């Protein structure tokens, strides 16, 4: 729940998809629009900070995504949003970069480090993991409310395979972890206060993905800070 008035909450949430050079952003924009958001593709700091929600997409290699985010000074902006309790959603490699490290071809790259853990190659007979898979959301998940038994679309060779966060039961927003299985268990999604992230692609997951995005949009405040007419 939030303290914003009912009038504010009738307005579509203003969401920025972070434009830092990652591919596949147009499909993310279309999916969010279909889910009911006003969407702007931008890397401008004012847009990123003023949006009701920020989506961080990501495809390709962990190191390349981190280099692109750093070049765009996006890591600092993402950190400011999270520190201020402003919602952020990461997708695919945009999920992975919130962990401490990624290891690809023997090269270890630092991530943003919001959560402990290392992104490593999946130990499975078939890699990449490509296609539809079920997930195991925790009880009380907001992202997966009403879609707990749906399947989602994955395209990845790397994942976080252990949850290393020390659980504090007194925390205001204890992390909620969703798991999936491909050769082994891996983290499919995390919900942690203002920060949520999915290893799978909601924008490629049909009706289930749109429902998940609607669930996320329903958690966003309606601040009215981002004027789309003036930013397009």
Residue 77 phi/psi, 5-degree rounding, is -65, -40
Indicate if 166 belongs to the active site: no
* Residue 208 and residue 150 in contact, taking contact as beta carbons nearer than 8 Å: yes
Residue 168 phi/psi, 5-degree rounding, is -115, 105
Q: If we measure between CA atoms, which residue out of 148, 140, 218 comes closest to residue 188?
A: 148
Q: If we measure between CA atoms, which residue out of 149, 66, 147, 155 comes closest to residue 107?
A: 66
Taking the C-alpha atoms of residue 75 and residue 207, their distance in angstroms, rounded to an integer, is: 31
Indicate if 34 belongs to the active site: no
From 4, 34, 92, 100, the catalytic residue: 92
Indicate if 203 belongs to the active site: yes
Residue identified by tokens 């997951």 is 205
From 100, 148, 201, 229, the catalytic residue: 201
From 114, 150, 191, 203, the catalytic residue: 203
Q: Which residues are catalytic, by number?
A: 92, 201, 203
């Amino acid at each position: 729940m939030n303290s914003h008035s009912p009038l504010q909450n009738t307005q579509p949430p203003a969401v920025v998809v972070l434009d830092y050079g990652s591919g596949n952003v147009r499909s993310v924009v279309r999916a969010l629009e279909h889910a009911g958001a006003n969407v702007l593709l931008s890397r401008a700091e004012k847009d990123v900070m003023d949006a009701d929600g920020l989506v961080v997409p990501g495809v390709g290699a962990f190191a390349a995504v981190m280099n692109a985010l750093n070049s765009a000074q996006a890591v600092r902006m993402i950190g400011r949003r999270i520190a201020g309790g402003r919602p952020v959603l990461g997708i695919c490699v945009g999920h992975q970069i919130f962990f401490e490290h990624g290891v690809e071809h023997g090269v270890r790259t630092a991530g943003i480090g919001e959560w402990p853990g290392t992104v490593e190659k999946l130990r499975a007979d078939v890699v990449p993991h490509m296609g539809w898979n079920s997930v195991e959301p925790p009880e009380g998940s907001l992202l997966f409310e009403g879609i707990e038994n749906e399947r989602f679309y994955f395209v990845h060779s790397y994942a976080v395979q252990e949850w290393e966060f020390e659980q504090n039961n007194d925390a205001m927003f204890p992390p909620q972890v969703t798991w999936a299985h491909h050769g082994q268990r891996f983290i499919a999604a995390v919900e942690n206060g203002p920060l949520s992230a999915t290893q799978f692609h909601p924008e490629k997951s049909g009706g289930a993905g749109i429902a998940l995005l609607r669930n996320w949009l329903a958690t966003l405040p309606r601040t009215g800070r981002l004027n789309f007419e003036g930013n397009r």
